Amino acid sequence: MISRASRVVQGLCAGLVLFLAACGGGGGSGGPDLSTAPGLSVSPTSVAFTAVHNGAVPPAQSIQITLSGSGIAFIVVSYLATPTLPTWLTQSPSLTGSGSNYTFTGGPITTSLAPGTYTATIRIAIEDAGHNTLAFRDASVSYTIQPLTGLAANPLSLDFIQLQGAPAPVAQNLGISELGGASYAWNASVVYQSGSGWLNINGAASASGATLPTSLSISVNPSGALGTLSAIVRVTGNGNTLDVPVRYALLEPQVSPPAVSLSFDAVRGGALPPTQGVPFSTQGNVPVNYTSTVAYNGGSGWLSTPASGTFPGTVSVSMNTSNLASGIYTAEIRLATATRTIIVYVGYTVSEPRIGRPSPDFLIFNAASSGALPPAQSVALSTDQNLTVPYTVLVSYDEGSGWLSTPAGGTAPGSLSLGVSTTDLPPGTYFAHVLLASADRVGREFIVEYSVSPSSLTLSPAAASFTIDSNSLPSALSKTVTVGATGSALSWTALSSQPWISVSPTSGLSGTPITVSLDAAQIGTFDPGTRSAPITSRYAELAAAESELCVALRGVTEHQH
């Protein structure tokens, strides 16, 4: 039987294809009655299916096939035309099993047939290897399509959505009809699943009528509580019951934006930064109340915001102090509505007041080596918002050291006085960097230049003038010139350019005066007029350096250089 079962399964498809297209029929005439021949039994011999017109397809059913005897090579299943082939049955039934036991499974594939009862015959046959029928059994099939009856709703469910504070949602129509087209009396009532009293049928708690179809007006009474309520509109009539789900949602309007960031900057102890406003809008422009709280992530109490308010609108955020240690502070303003929390992130940077750029930011001092100190100079200092900023003075030198005189520190705004503390430096140019260090850790820097020049000879007066006439006394023929130096003492020599002028002494140190004298005998020969001549003084420290004293003689007749 095992090898035969394999052949039976292989032969099934061919048998199905062959006999599905055939008209069917029994065994040959004049022979034995194959409908009762041994070797084959089926159970059950009849199956029945029931469905509603255009409803769900009924589940498939099975027929058990049992084989006995020998010589069986094929099982062939076919639908008989009674009088036409049953296209409403599956055209691809399954036949599974092995040995002596097999299961045939199939059923209807549609419910679109007109209401009524349909019949068909399934013939199950066994054949030998030569495809000669050994026996067959018929199983009857009946399929009843029932007309569609009962109550129907259009739409199948109702949803009402209302924004809190907005007008109540408009009423909706609910159509009620009989699927089979019949008309009879009906009643409609509300079955609440949550809440109560919020649903109306035709403006009341219930409604009734004498005929179908009908249209019901379903409306809601506004609720004050946010959330979702549900109920059922139950319609009954002629023994039928129809439940239509109804949902009513009272929602808080959306608020935009859902989050925002603000940034503030201030100088410690200075003016407060300007207030900033955050505009919020709402869904449908419907008012939404909120309350606010502040959560600080650094410091506390430095933020000011309304305790409560209503969207849409602008939420004003301001700082109420700048007397915080320099640093970065953050906080969250939490605007809480009935169902959500909107976050405003706030950053507050407090910085130390700074000293502005010094004016001027470059100073120049000039002095002669070992000479007099140059006068002090000042720089003007400003600050952020005119706030008082203490500072210390730090000096670094590029050349030399210690030649600049400054206070140890001070406060700005104001002025800073600087001077040179010594001229005992070799001639040359010196630079220093002055840093004003303050709490902002940045500070301000400016540069000082100090030019030290070699000492030079000075003559006072720089020009000696003589007026000689017949009444002049001998004392009028000589004058004293003071010889000095701009810095260290200098040794000098003096030489007259004309024989009628003499110098005494002809050499000396700065500080030694020179007496300039006129030779009376020589000037007595001069015609009336004006004459002048230089006296050149040289000093040994710099061989090329020299000074000239101009001598002018008036009252003679000739002018000569």
Structure tokens at 414: 């104001």
2-146 and 362-453 have identical folds: yes
pLDDT of residue 170: 96
CATH number of this structure's domain 151-251: 2.60.40.10
The answer on pLDDT for 78 being more than 50 is yes
What is the pLDDT confidence band of residue 561, given thresholds at 50, 70 and 90? very low
What is the pLDDT confidence band of residue 540, given thresholds at 50, 70 and 90? low
The answer on pLDDT for 12 being more than 50 is no
pLDDT of residue 11: 34
Give the largest CA-CA distance in the chain.
197
pLDDT of residue 1: 30
Structure tokens at 324: 């915080």
Q: Which of 174, 223, 156 is nearest to 196 (CA)?
A: 223
Q: Which of 236, 237, 190, 188 is nearest to 216 (CA)?
A: 188
Instruction: Report the CATH fold assignment for 2-146.
Output: Immunoglobulin-like (2.60.40)
Neighbouring residues of 196: CB distance < 8 A, sequence distance ≥ 6: none
- Which sign does the torsion angle of CA 128, 131, 135, 140 carry? positive
The answer on pLDDT for 4 being more than 60 is no
The answer on pLDDT for 167 being more than 70 is yes
Residue 223 identity: S
C-alpha span between 208 and 415 (Å, rounded) = 98
Structure tokens at 347: 């950053």
Taking all residues of the chain, what is their mean pLDDT, rounded to a whole number?
88
pLDDT of residue 437: 94
What is the pLDDT confidence band of residue 486, given thresholds at 50, 70 and 90? confident
The answer on pLDDT for 30 being more than 90 is no
pLDDT of residue 24: 38
Buried b vs exposed e over 450-481: b needs ≥16 C-beta within 10 Å? bebbbbbbebeeeebebebeeeeeeeeeebeb
The tens digit of pLDDT for each residue in 274-293 reads 999 999 999 999 999 999 99
Residue 37 identity: A
| DSSP-derived 3-state class of residue 137 | strand
Residue 534 identity: P
The tens digit of pLDDT for each residue in 53-65 reads 888 999 999 999 9
The domain defined by 362-453 carries CATH number 3.20.20.140? no
Where do runs of H (alpha helix) occur along 438-547? 520-523
- Which sign does the torsion angle of CA 223, 229, 235, 239 carry? negative
261-268 average pLDDT score: 96
C-alpha span between 116 and 357 (Å, rounded) = 105
Structure tokens at 501: 């002028």
pLDDT of residue 556: 53
What is the pLDDT confidence band of residue 545, given thresholds at 50, 70 and 90? low
Structure tokens at 114: 């007109």
The answer on pLDDT for 414 being more than 90 is yes
Q: Which helix (H) or strand (E) covers residue 13, if one does?
A: helix 2-20
The answer on pLDDT for 544 being more than 50 is no
φ, ψ of residue 107 in degrees (nearest 5): 175, -175
Domain positions in the chain: 2-146, 151-251, 258-351, 362-453, 457-554
CATH of 457-554, one of 3.20.20.70, 2.60.40.10, 3.30.2350.10, 2.40.40.20: 2.60.40.10
pLDDT of residue 529: 84
The answer on pLDDT for 14 being more than 60 is no
The tens digit of pLDDT for each residue in 128-158 reads 999 999 999 999 999 999 888 889 999 999 9
Q: By CB neighbour count within 10 A (0-12 exposed, 13-18 middle, 19+ buried), where does 35 fall?
A: middle
If one compares 348 and 369, the residue with the highest pLDDT of the two is: 348
Neighbouring residues of 344: CB distance < 8 A, sequence distance ≥ 6: 259, 260, 261, 262, 278, 305, 315, 317, 332, 333, 335
Where do runs of H (alpha helix) occur along 408-549? 520-523
Structure tokens at 515: 């007496």
Architecture of domain 258-351: Sandwich (2.60)
- Which sign does the torsion angle of CA 7, 12, 13, 19 carry? positive
C-alpha span between 304 and 318 (Å, rounded) = 5
